[in-house]
Amino acid sequence: MLDRSFIGLETEPRSVAVEASQLRFFARATGENNPIYFDEAAARAAGHAALPAPPTFLFCLASLAPEAENVMARLGVDMGRVLHGEQSFTYGERICAGDTITLTTRISDIYDKRGGALDFIVQDTEATNQNGQSVGLTRTVIVVRNG
């Protein structure tokens, strides 16, 4: 069973630059066929100042700027036993190439099911841009298979 004393732990804010090259790489990896996500001219024609980050890219920014503390390791979680249980997004200002996003992640809950066979870790991340505007909130539920 995971240590419940980690509930409420908030990581140090971390910042990550949104790079056009990374957005194009993401578009290629996901088979994106809408040119506003990989062609600057198409993005501008659609009213964007630069390439926009697609809806799930906020989650990737959190991965691209991992927490200095590595909370999963401190919790003793084996990455071979981890599954993604749930993911949600709430959006604020749009995120575009050239932005710098600051992320703060909090462990909101830890609980278990099936008599401890599965542990659940709920992480909430708040994201703001270089102007201090909220760009979104994400909630991640990680499932750990025990035994």
Partner 1 sequence: MATITYHAVDVGETLPPHESRPITRHVLALYCGASGDHNPIHVDIDFARKAGMPDVFAHGMLSMAYLAQLLTGWVPQDQIRQWGVRFIAITPVHAKVLCTGRVVEKFEADGERRVRLAIDAHTDGGIHTLSGDAIIALP
Q: Could you say whether residue 90 binds partner 1 (CB under 8 A)? A: yes
Q: Could you say whether residue 94 binds partner 1 (CB under 8 A)? A: yes
CA distances from 111 to 83, 107, 138 (A): 15, 11, 19
Q: Could you say whether residue 130 binds partner 1 (CB under 8 A)? A: no
**Secondary structure of the chain as H, E, C letters:** CCCHHHCCCECCCEEEECCHHHHHHHHHHCCCCCHHHCCHHHHHHCCCCCCECCCCHHHHHHHHCCCCCCHHHHCCCCHHHEEEEEEEEEECCCCECCCEEEEEEEEEEEEEEHHHCEEEEEEEEEEECCCCCEEEEEEEEEEEECC
The 18-37 site mask, x for binding partner 1 (CB under 8 A), equals ----x--xx-xxxxx-x---
Q: Could you say whether residue 113 binds partner 1 (CB under 8 A)? A: no
Amino acid at 100: T
Stretch that binds partner 1, among 1-9, 51-59, 96-104, 114-122 (CB under 8 A): 51-59
Q: Could you say whether residue 88 binds partner 1 (CB under 8 A)? A: yes
**Binding residue for partner 1 (CB under 8 A) from 15, 70, 87, 130?**
87
**Binding residue for partner 1 (CB under 8 A) from 83, 113, 116, 117?**
83
Q: Could you say whether residue 70 binds partner 1 (CB under 8 A)? A: no
> Which chain residues interact with partner 1 by CB under 8 A?
22, 25-26, 28-32, 34, 46, 52, 54-56, 59-61, 63-64, 78-91, 94, 139
